[in-house]
Amino acid sequence: MHSTTVELPFSFRHMSFAAGIRAAASREPDKIAFRHGERSRSYRQLVERISRAGAAIGSGLGLGPGDHGAIVAKNSIEYIEVVIGASEAGVALATVNPRLSPAEIVAICDDAQARVVFADAASAAVLRDADFASVERIIELGPELEDFLASARGDWQAPEVAEWGVFTIPYTSGTTGKPKGVLVPHRSRILTLFGMAVEYGCYSPGDRFLAIAPMCHGAGMIFSLAPVFFGGYAEVMDSFDPEAVMRSLKDEHMTGFFGVPTHFHAMMNLAPTVLADLKPDNLRSVISNAAPLPQPMKETLVDYFGDGLLHETYGSTEAGIVTNLRPPDQLRKQQCVGQPIALTEVEIRRDDGSICDADEVGELFSTSPYLFNGYWGRPEETEEAFHNGWVTVGDLARRDDEGHIYIVDRKKDMVISGGTNIYPREVEEVLISHPDIVDVAVVGVPDEKWGERLKAFIVTSGGTELSLEHIDQFCEGQISRMKTPREVELITQIPRNANGKVLKTELRKRAG
């Protein structure tokens, strides 16, 4: 492969989130950008704190382009400030789910070679004594972060950070069940914002967006950043309460809201009198992502919020937003994820690489400027994902004769519960370490509230009885609560094919 060095035009300027927020601040510096509970941040304050975060990380910690850190925290305004400040210093943060066990968090930080960890109070308390391989300092969000920001040198000069460089490193599991870092470039997510602005129509400077999804997830981060990047307003919530969400949508005159099916299920299960009292009247867009939205729930949402608002988006951490089912098609195209968004091409391919016919199931590939830079430290898995500039995450899909995409299944056995990706192999590895378990397989089964829940099929030595409570206690501290099976069935043999591969389709049928 030949590489050519191209000299950038003299007028070229790299895109960055910090530059976008500064541009918005220049228009209305005293406008409130973020609110979180009783606390708020004007654009002027936000820009000043982002600059301080970058300077403190760059000058105080001596970190720069190519270095990594991590953030383990619930949603907050500080979360955004630290992530954007670090990115301006050229430091990519691994965005780690604070619900993971301490052992899981340490493993991710070690894999990312993080040198600093920013953590909320609860996470910092359990990580202070952890045995990290590369972490030199833990900085708790709160007074310790404020002291850290105050120590920033005023003469620090931000380095030039290329827009194709790494912005953040969200972690996702692969076929091995071990988390792997997804190298997300600045360019990918910034261009995604423009695509979202076109699709959803709720990101003008006059829009108000409710951000409740965890920022540690790719969607939670991007949907929190989009309103402020374009000069609007975002209200941040660090926990989900369906009535509080509905009240905010109405009382704060929100124009946009992003949720996962679990959120919508809880919201629509509120008492009819509450729903009637809190029905919002300013919404322009309601966006669903992260898990399939059941058709009955789509109908309920359209009936409640009205026509012309609901979007269902499909994407991945690796490929960004890929498709969107727009409001006019919500009830016309059932169990559909829509058409490719701007700058995106999608192909449904057979195993031999040829293109599938209409309504023929194959593997979904996409190409766009939103693609990731590969998996951190995993060249083989990066090569598996990329095919001549096209990316696959193993989803099976079909395309109808109008160009609409339908996700049929997942090649890999990922389970999506409450909008969170869970990989059964990781859970199986924990369960098989139990002294009385000789074989195990974990599958996802349908759940009305969570979309899917985990069920473990277990073979024990000598037919030993193991209760769900026992399994729950055994998993505690080894894997997070959300990955612990909610059902257990003892069986005499795990079904496998001639090659020894577990026949999970049979287990799903058995589970009903």
Question: What would the pLDDT profile of 130-158 be if each residue is shown by its tens digit?
Answer: 999 999 999 999 999 999 999 998 889 99
Gyration radius from the chain CA atoms? 23
CB-based contacts of 375-378 (< 8 A; 24+ apart in sequence): 375/174, 375/180, 375/181, 375/182, 375/183, 376/111, 376/112, 376/169, 376/180, 376/181, 376/182, 376/183, 377/111, 377/181, 378/174, 378/180
476-478-480 Cα angle (round to 5): 70
How far, in Å, CA of 329 to CA of 313, rounded?
13
Q: Is the pLDDT of residue 503 over 90?
A: no
Tell whether the model's pLDDT for residue 394 goes beyond 80.
yes
Contact of 64 with 163, CB cutoff 8 Å:
no
pLDDT in tens, 51-68: 999 999 999 999 999 999
Q: Kindly state the average pLDDT of the residues 230-236.
A: 98
158 by DSSP, 3-state: which?
coil
Is residue 496 scored above 80 in pLDDT? no
Tokens of 360: 């023929």
Higher pLDDT, 88 or 461: 88
Dihedral, CA of residue 327, residue 332, residue 336 and residue 337, to nearest 10: -20
Asked whether 399 and 355 are in contact (CB, 8 A), the reply is no
- Which of 433, 472, 466, 439 has the alpha carbon at shortest distance from 454? 472
Say which amino acid occupies 75: N
Tell me if the domain spanning 415-511 has CATH number 3.30.300.30. yes
- The pLDDT of 65-92, averaged and rounded, is 98
Strand partners, 377: none
Across all residues in the chain, what is the average pLDDT? 92
- Kindly state the average pLDDT of the residues 97-111: 94
Q: Check residue 120 and give left, alpha or beta (phi > 0: left; psi -120 to 50: alpha).
A: beta
Q: H helices within 255-313, ranges in order? A: 261-268, 272-277, 295-305
Confidence of residue 385 (pLDDT cuts 50, 70, 90): very high
Q: How many CB atoms lie within 10 A of CB 199?
A: 20
pLDDT given for residue 262 in this prediction: 79
* φ, ψ for residue 393, nearest 5 deg: -115, 15
- Residue 478 neighbours by CB distance under 10 Å: 16
Residue 260 has pLDDT above 90, yes or no: no
| Weakest mean pLDDT among 36-45, 173-182, 252-261, 437-446 | 173-182
Amino acid at 29: P
CA geometry: angle 287, 36, 129, nearest 5 deg: 105
Cβ-contact 118, 71 below 8 angstroms = yes
Q: Given this model, what pLDDT does residue 3 score?
A: 56
- Sorted by sequence, the CB contacts under 8 Å of residue 125 that are 6+ apart come out as none
Q: Identify the pLDDT of residue 497.
A: 54
Q: What is the C-alpha to C-alpha distance for residues 361 and 345, in angstroms, rounded to an integer?
A: 17
pTM summary value = 0.83
Which distant-in-sequence residues (6+ apart) come within 8 Å of 62 by Cβ?
Answer: none
- pLDDT tens-digit readout, 166-190: 999 999 854 345 789 999 999 999 9
The SS3 assignment for 197 reads: helix
Longest dimension (CA), the chain: 74
| pLDDT band at residue 1 using 50, 70 and 90 as cut-offs | very low
Identify whether the C-beta of residue 258 lies closer than 8 Å to the C-beta of residue 219: yes
201-218: pLDDT as tens digits: 999 999 999 999 999 988
pLDDT recorded at residue 449: 85
Could you count the other beta carbons within 10 Å of the beta carbon of residue 198? 12
Task: Supply angle C-alpha 260, 265, 266, rounded to 5.
Answer: 105
pLDDT tier at 426, thresholds 50, 70, 90: confident
Closest CA to 33 of 242, 22, 436: 22
